[in-house]
Structure 1
Amino acid sequence: MKFIATATLLALSSVALLADAHISFRYPCPRLGPYSECPQPGDNQWDMVDYDVQSPLGTHDQITDPICKHSASFPGVRPTFQAGQTVSTKMDVDVNHNGGSCQWALSYDNGVTWVVIQDHFQDCMASAPASSTYTVPLTIPANAPSGPAVLNWIWNNNEGNRELYSSCADVVIQGTNGGSLSGVAPLFANYGPSSPLIPERSTYGGNWGKQYFDARPNITIHVPAQKRKRQFVPRN
């Protein structure tokens, strides 16, 4: 009975996503994502699955969800990325809104502070076919500290409502044990009336928010060293 219910809900997830969908992570798995690759919910957790994971977090008029939407993932194995590694992330694409501007950011304190690790301005996702799984390479900084982290993809679309998209995935970074990571803080534009407004821009030459991205403040995040587990050596 549990198998039938699980299969039915997973099959219905694709229909639910198409009802109000745009773009999100597929790999690494977004928090509470409905994909079969994601950590699966427990027996009493199926109502927590986010079948609307591709939708924006808000518009310039209102905020509908927090930046990561959810505070945690279902329990399960997190993907591990090496510092300096180029990861083939996969995006679940409904429509691409003629591209936009993307930021990828890491947080080691569950989204309290973020540092941007990669940008792609103006035409990010523009070549992603509708109703596809689209691969985007992402390079983890070579000096990234080790530890559990949250990887966030942030996107302001070129066409349509003035929206903000954000997709958070729980990962593990293997790099420097302790240390810091420096960069700029991400821009959260078109995310409520007090945020910067990036206007709709259908063709190149228009205002894509360059002045706001250029003004992102510098930030350094510090990650404490992880305690190494002591190895038990039996006595003779």
Structure 2
Amino acid sequence: MKSIITTAVVALSSLVLLTEAHISFRYPCPRLGPYAECPQPNDSQWDLVDYDVQSPLGTHDQITDPICKHSFSFAGVRPVFTAGQTIQAKMDVNVNHNGGSCQWALSYDNGSNWVVIQDQFQNCLASAPADSTYTLPIKIPANAPTGNNVVLNWIWNNNEGNRELYSSCADIVIQGTSGGSLSGVVPLYANYGPSSPYIPEKAVSGGNWGQAYFAARKNITITVPAQKIKRQIVPLN
């Protein structure tokens, strides 16, 4: 009976997502995501499933959610990626807003510090069909330290429509060098509340897509203590 109920709820989630949806991770799984391939909630956690996982975090006028939306994932085995590996990330796309600028960042301390590992400016997701699962490659840096509790963050500022910020966080494991550091820049969180940088619609701004803000991102180096990969990886909650 439980498996039937679970299947029905997950199937219903796909319909619910379409009522107010844009874009999110599908793989790696977003925190508390409703997808069947994601870690499933236990019997007392079904009210925590985020059926609005594709929605933006806010606009330039207001913040509606924190950067990762949620501070934990449902318990389950996290995907393990190797330093230097290219992940074929799957994005759940409702509408693409004529593309925009994407950043991908890693955190080894549950979001206290982030370092950007990849950018795609202006045309990110521009060719993603509506209501599709679209693949985007993400390369884990070859010098990425080993981490059992790493968070991968996708951040997107859209070209068209409301001035919004989108983000998805996925809990992952990285198999790399035990201990070390990772350097880059901190992410830009634009169109995320009145005090954040404002990026206008590209088509009506003379081509301004926020390039000056992205160029001004601050440098950061994060240092990760030595650790070994655990056999069974259970997300923090």
TM-score range, shorter chain: over 0.9
- State the Cα deviation string for residues 108-159 of structure 1 (Å, max 9, x = none): 0000100000000001000000000000011100000001200000000000
1:176 matched to 2:177: yes
Matches of 2:175 and 2:48, distance apart in 1: 30
- State the Cα deviation string for residues 84-117 of structure 1 (Å, max 9, x = none): 0111000000000000000000000000100000
1:233 maps to what in 2? none
1:38 maps to what in 2? 38
1:118 matched to 2:118: yes
* DSSP-derived class of the 1:11 partner: helix
In terms of mean alpha carbon deviation, does 75-84 or 218-227 score higher? 218-227
1:53 maps to what in 2? 53
2:128 maps to what in 1? 128
Q: How many angstroms does 1:201 deviate by? A: 1.4
1:186 matched to 2:199: no
Structure 1: 4+ residue segments shifted above 3 A: none
CA contact under 8 A between 1:107 and 1:149: conserved in structure 2? yes
Change (3 A) 1:2 1:139: same
1:164 maps to what in 2? 165
Matches of 1:48 and 1:144, distance apart in 2: 32
Q: Counterparts of 1:139-154 in structure 2 under 5 Å?
A: 139-147=139-147, 148-154=149-155
Which letter does structure 1 place at the counterpart of 2:116?
V
Q: Counterparts of 1:196-211 in structure 2 under 5 Å?
A: 196-202=197-203, 206-211=207-212
Which letter does structure 2 place at the counterpart of 1:8?
A
CA contact under 8 A between 1:58 and 1:163: conserved in structure 2? yes
Give the greater-gyration-radius structure (CA): 1
Matches of 1:6 and 1:214, distance apart in 2: 46
* DSSP-derived class of the 2:17 partner: helix
In terms of mean alpha carbon deviation, does 203-212 or 36-45 score higher? 203-212
Quote the sequence identity (%): 79
Q: Compute the TM-score of the two structures, normalised by the length of structure 1.
A: 0.95
* DSSP-derived class of the 2:202 partner: coil
* DSSP-derived class of the 1:202 partner: helix
Matches of 2:8 and 2:228, distance apart in 1: 43
The root-mean-square deviation of aligned C-alpha atoms, in Å, is 1.3
Which letter does structure 1 place at the counterpart of 2:121?
F
CA contact under 8 A between 1:31 and 1:74: conserved in structure 2? yes
- State the Cα deviation string for residues 130-189 of structure 1 (Å, max 9, x = none): 000000011100000001200000000000000000000000000010000000000000
CA contact under 8 A between 1:87 and 1:137: conserved in structure 2? yes
Structure 1 residue runs of 5 or longer lacking an equivalent are: 230-236
Change (3 A) 1:228 1:78: closer
Matches of 2:215 and 2:135, distance apart in 1: 27
Q: How many angstroms does 1:46 deviate by? A: 0.6
* DSSP-derived class of the 1:213 partner: helix
* DSSP-derived class of the 2:160 partner: coil
1:213 maps to what in 2? 214
* DSSP-derived class of the 2:11 partner: helix
Structure 2 residue runs of 5 or longer lacking an equivalent are: 231-237
Which letter does structure 2 place at the counterpart of 1:144?
A
Change (3 A) 1:199 1:52: same
CA contact under 8 A between 2:81 and 2:172: conserved in structure 1? yes
Q: How many angstroms does 1:8 deviate by? A: 1.6
Which letter does structure 1 place at the counterpart of 2:48?
M
2:87 maps to what in 1? 87
Matches of 2:117 and 2:4, distance apart in 1: 42
Q: How many angstroms does 1:3 deviate by? A: 2.0
CA contact under 8 A between 1:98 and 1:202: conserved in structure 2? no
